[in-house]
Amino acid sequence: MSTLIPASILHELEQPFDLSKQQLSFYQQNGYIKLRQVLSESAVQFFNEAISRVVSNMRKTDVPLNERNTYGKAFLQLFNLWTEDSTVKTLVFSKRLARLAAQLMGASGARLYHDQALFKEPGGGITPWHADQHYWPLNTDKTITAWMPLQATPLEMGPLEFSPGSQRILAGRELSIGDESEKLIGEKLKINDFPHVVEGFECGEISFHSGWVFHRAGANQSREMRKVMTVIYMDKETTLMEPKNSGQLNDWKTWCPGAEVGQIINTPLNPVLY
């Protein structure tokens, strides 16, 4: 299903968002950055409605919160919405976002890894400390996630919390997300005096974070669903790495089907977006 997208929003998604030297330097140093007014409020509202519809259609189970594990309580997680809906595809394939991703990665171009919707229900629990790239069989450090709240997201709703500079820490990269990663990574960051930064998100504000920077999110203590859309990018020249864990093997078969170890990941699910 698709919805007619207003011309003003289509134009917005194609226009470049210029980064300053200071912003590029901040990202390289800290492994993340939050950028205001990347999208207009009208665009956020439009895609909130479109993505919410797709999430509702794709959602298969409805296990009560109190019967889920820590990961299950963190959010409803659905992948590759762009393959299900042409309206969502327009957002995921936005040159505005992909150009930002390429610039921040320091890459000549950005290729899609996959997208995912992360909806944290009212009363939903924490998202434990983790590094995304633990799950990715990608032979590069030039990876980045655009984290796009679909509404203003104050602290009570559980926005992302980052540990600036932690992309340089090797310890903890082997941990899957869960109770153990929350405890051990949190301890490691504290021992090494790495700061934690958590701030609310304005409507239209988007964060970008490296695949190796440690991050988490608080519980949703509000009465509203915390709706977030994410797009994960990699350097367009990224090659497939021999998987080092079961998560990476699953990601290879699921998000890069047909890709070969040592070769550029150029499959129908991984187009160059910029």
Task: Kindly list the domain boundaries of the chain, sorted by start residue.
Answer: 20-237
Count the Cβ atoms, other than its own, within 10 Å of residue 222: 17
Give yes or no for residue 73 having a pLDDT over 80. no
**Percentage of residues in the chain with pLDDT exceeding 70?**
94
Beta pairing, strands 226-235 & 110-120: antiparallel
- Residue pair 111/236 in contact by the 8 Å Cβ criterion: yes
Higher pLDDT residue, 62 or 49? Answer: 49
Half-sphere CA count of 192, side-chain side, radius 13 A: 17
Higher pLDDT residue, 181 or 117? Answer: 117
Which H or E element spans position 250? helix 246-255
pLDDT at 208: 98
Give the confidence band of 64 by pLDDT, cuts at 50, 70, 90. low
- Residue pair 180/144 in contact by the 8 Å Cβ criterion: no
Closest by CA position to 93, among listed 210, 1, 194, 10: 10
pLDDT of 145-193, one tens digit each?
A: 999 999 999 999 999 999 999 999 998 999 988 899 899 999 988 877 8
pLDDT of 4-17, one tens digit each?
A: 999 999 999 999 99
Superfamily for 20-237? q2cbj1_9rhob like domain (2.60.120.620)
Q: Residue type for 228, please?
A: V
Give yes or no for residue 235 having a pLDDT over 90. yes
Give yes or no for residue 231 having a pLDDT over 80. yes
Give yes or no for residue 99 having a pLDDT over 90. yes
pTM metric for this prediction: 0.93
Give yes or no for residue 257 having a pLDDT over 80. yes
pLDDT at 190: 84
Residue 172 backbone class (left: φ over 0; alpha: ψ -120 to 50; beta: rest): left
As a whole number, the mean pLDDT across the chain is 94
pLDDT at 3: 74
pLDDT at 87: 97
Mean pLDDT of 44-65: 87
69-83, 97-111, 133-147: least confident range? 69-83
